[in-house]
Amino acid sequence: MVTPGHKPVLQTAFHHLHSKVHFIDMKRIVCGLLLLFINLSWLNPIPAQTPEKQEPPKRLAIRAGRLIEVKSGTVINNAVILIEGEKIVAVGPGLNVPPGTRVIDLGSATVLPGLIDCHTHVTSQPANYYEDLFRRTPIDYAVTAHVYARRTLEAGFTTIRDVGAGEFIDVALRNAINAGTVVGPRMQVATLTVGATGGHGDTSGFSPYIKFGHFSGLADGTDEVRKLIRFEIKNGADVIKLIATAGVLSEEESVGAPQYSQEEMNAAVEEAAMWSRKVAAHAHGAEGIKRAVRAGVVSIEHGSLIDDEGIRLMKERGTYLVADIYNDDYILSEYGRLGYPAKIIEKERLVGRTQRESFQRAVKAGVRIAFGSDAGVYPHGWNGKQFAHMVRWGMTPMQAVQAATVNAADLLGWSDRVGSIEPGRFADIIAVSEDPMKDVTVFERVSFVMKGGQIVKDELTRSEVRLR
């Protein structure tokens, strides 16, 4: 290292070299400079780098009265979970706790894996139909997205699949959560929904002279569908959301008519698979559901008007049904007040009860079910309200819990990370004060939330909550 005290030495050396340069060749100049700097470095050597001391992983133990073992569908009493860093290392009844381990005693509470919601829109929630369309910008949504993410996590949902946000706000939110900048659940994101011109993913009902300056998720024909999917994956999509049929919260005429041909749906699934991505299909109508299942989508979202053939196809191919059977209550109660057009509310009246009956038939037939609430259509943090409806419409409490844990993790392809309390999984753990096998509404008031070994919410021990 050259210090200010060495400057006169350098200046003298350079002056001498400059005055003699026409007698000395370039090689000798270079050699002389190298020798000079080596000597100066010897006078003031650079200190050797010492490796930083690595802290051992934090060790925690959770004690609880009961633990729901979601894979087997059994309950473990006097449960102990041992955690190192962000991962679970052991679990079982009455395990010995190693010395020096911090113990979190949850008393008689029931612990479960962190819940998973496979159908959210976490970057927004409706305030007023026309205000949202014409006065709010993507910047407005980006500014509040972290608020909804935190509410979702504090409600006990430590992982979500977000199925359509627009403007890539979901990508930025996911990245900020992963970096520890923002508090929120683990996320898989779909970015723009892939939909047909004039369909559920388009903005309809207005003058054709009104232009919306935003990224477009519209694609018509197999080539455009493929190109849009590549664009989404390039910009951060973990999963592709395909609009297979008409929908409810839009102003196109039908609620369930197909909006993509079989060829277009096939192209979407093939293209996504080439990039190691899965496709989730928004589909209310029977024909669109069957086209999407034949194409090879991993899940049908909504499934309101599914017929017996569609149920048979889903069961044969292992396609998941992700049915949002709570939000009919909220839409019919609140969307008139929020300024939504009468046409939209009438469409909800048309499909609301039918969707729940279709869900009941699918459960009875043995279709694979994963939890998905459509949170964002109603306030974030209310995700747990869906459990009571799942039980009311055909599931046992254990089946409903499995839909939001082990089944949902399988749908996401993350069974090795989340969805169960076992060694090697992330320490994503929740606790409820009552027995959820007797009353699933307890998931509307989750008392304890841990994500990756960090306590996010604690209303049981009243200890200090530690966040990033």
Residue 432: closest CA among 460, 411, 394: 460
Residue 417: how many CA atoms within 13 Å on its side-chain side? 14
User: Under a CB-based contact definition with an 8 Å cutoff, are residues 411 and 118 in contact?
Assistant: yes
Residue appearing with tokens 């589909």: 283
Residue 247: closest CA among 122, 139, 121: 121
Neighbour count for residue 124 (Cβ, 10 Å): 21
Residue appearing with tokens 């894979």: 71
Q: Please give the single-letter amino acid code of residue 351.
A: V
In eight-state DSSP terms, residue 245 is B
Residues 6, 238: Cα–Cα separation, whole Å: 57
Strand locations in 143-239 (E): 157-162, 186-189
The terminus-to-terminus CA distance of the chain in angstroms comes to 39
Tens place of pLDDT per residue across the chain (468 aa)? 444 444 443 344 434 434 443 433 444 533 443 343 334 333 344 344 445 555 667 899 999 999 999 999 999 999 999 999 999 999 999 999 999 999 999 999 999 999 999 999 999 999 999 999 889 999 999 999 999 999 999 999 999 999 999 899 999 999 999 999 999 999 999 999 999 999 999 988 888 888 887 899 999 999 999 999 999 999 999 999 999 999 999 999 899 999 999 999 999 999 999 999 999 999 999 999 999 999 999 999 999 999 999 999 999 999 999 999 999 999 999 999 999 999 999 999 999 999 999 999 999 999 999 999 999 999 999 999 999 999 999 999 999 999 999 999 999 999 999 999 999 999 999 999 999 999 999 999 999 999 999 999 999 986 544 443
pTM over 0.85: yes
Residue 119: how many CA atoms within 13 Å on its side-chain side? 29
pLDDT at 30: 38
The total number of residues shown for the chain amounts to 468
Residue appearing with tokens 């609620």: 255
As given in the structure block, the two tokens for residue 167 are: 């403007």
Nearest 5°: CA angle at 252, between 162 and 125? 35
Helix and strand totals (H; E) in the chain: 14, 15
Residue appearing with tokens 């060829």: 263
pLDDT at 463: 58
User: Under a CB-based contact definition with an 8 Å cutoff, are residues 326 and 385 in contact?
Assistant: yes
pLDDT at 253: 86
Strand locations in 107-225 (E): 110-113, 115-120, 157-162, 186-189
pLDDT at 105: 97
Please state the φ and ψ torsions of residue 143, each to the nearest 5 degrees.
Answer: -65, -30
